[in-house]
Amino acid sequence: MITKLKVVPFRLEAAPKTDLPRVIGRSEATLHSTPQRWLQSSFGLLDIHTRQKWTLLRPLLGGLPRRGVRLLDAGCGTGRWALELASYRPQWQIVGVDMDEQSIAEARSRSQRLGLKNVTFELSSFLDFQPPERFDVLLSIASAHYLAREGKAQILFSRFAQWLIPGGTLLLYGPREPELIPALGWLPPLTNDWGFSRLHLLELCRSNGLETATEGAYGLFPVIGRTATVAKQIAIATDKNPIVRAAAYPVVLALGSVGLSAPRIEEPSSAWLLVARRSDA
């Protein structure tokens, strides 16, 4: 088992060479009928919110070892991230966990149809989940804030630490506090009604043995800056009208890739990317 992972520096402009695709969703294209199969195999998922998250996490995931990694997708939903990674990293062992029974059933069905042998899905809440083995990498994509806003952040982060091996890596994407989101007032607001503050996240890490002030990529990064947030708002505004949505999509796509990572911690942004390591102690 890997005891320490080499995480590449978080620099979108200098992402390492990797066979992980630039867009997410191509691995599941065969599950759909044409024309969606053709569209998804060529362009991946069109949803701007998912594309932004994948763009941010891809350099980090692509820089991990190609074999011997045990990864937990905490809050996996229908398995989108777990299935994508399982398809491109057959030497990884991936577990997805979610408390929604319908989502887990769908994830298991998709895995079976894709013929994947290196991914399993567990039906459980975060607080009840007790894996028989710990993980090298824990992936939490827009899932931790649901328990955190209920006042359960401390116990959640203690679970995160328990699930990781010493030296294991936590990759967490979560919303920033609403008052610091750089949204335009005349466009529909984002659905974030709660978010993590910088000090809150750093304290949750510190009190649970998760280090952020280490070398390389480790740290807390503001992501989804002003322009990228406007793209999300436009996508929300046009979501209910297929014709308007299709017409606006080139603008959404162009804006959505600008300013994904804010240059300074104090600048407004929509989300945080936390890269932490469980201490060896």
How far apart are alpha carbons 129 and 97 in whole angstroms?
A: 8
Mean pLDDT, the chain, as a whole number? 91
| Residue 279 and residue 209 in contact, taking contact as beta carbons nearer than 8 Å | yes
Three-state secondary-structure class, residue 137: strand
Answer yes or no: is pLDDT of 4 > 80. no
In this prediction, residue 192 carries a pLDDT of 77
| Residue 218 and residue 13 in contact, taking contact as beta carbons nearer than 8 Å | no
| Residue 38 and residue 23 in contact, taking contact as beta carbons nearer than 8 Å | no
How far apart are alpha carbons 32 and 92 in whole angstroms?
A: 25
Nearest in space to 87 (alpha carbons), one of 53, 109, 39, 119: 119
Residue 30 CB-density burial (10 A; 0-12 exposed, 13-18 middle, 19+ buried): exposed
* Length of the chain (residues): 281
Residue 245's identity, in one-letter code, is R
| Residue 95 and residue 131 in contact, taking contact as beta carbons nearer than 8 Å | yes
| Residue 276 and residue 169 in contact, taking contact as beta carbons nearer than 8 Å | yes
| Global confidence as pTM | 0.93
Residue 45's identity, in one-letter code, is L
Tens digit of pLDDT for each residue in 234-250?
999 999 999 999 999 99
For residues 15 and 69, the model is more confident at 69
Tens digit of pLDDT for each residue in 161-180?
999 999 999 999 999 999 98
Tens digit of pLDDT for each residue in 185-208?
889 888 878 999 999 999 999 999
pLDDT band at 51, cuts 50/70/90?
A: very high
Task: Tell me if the domain spanning 12-225+264-278 has CATH number 1.50.10.150.
Answer: no
Residue 164's identity, in one-letter code, is L
Contacts (Cβ under 8 Å, ≥6 apart) of 115: none
- The first and second tokens of residue 211, run together, are 């280090």
Answer yes or no: is pLDDT of 155 > 70. yes
Answer yes or no: is pLDDT of 148 > 80. yes
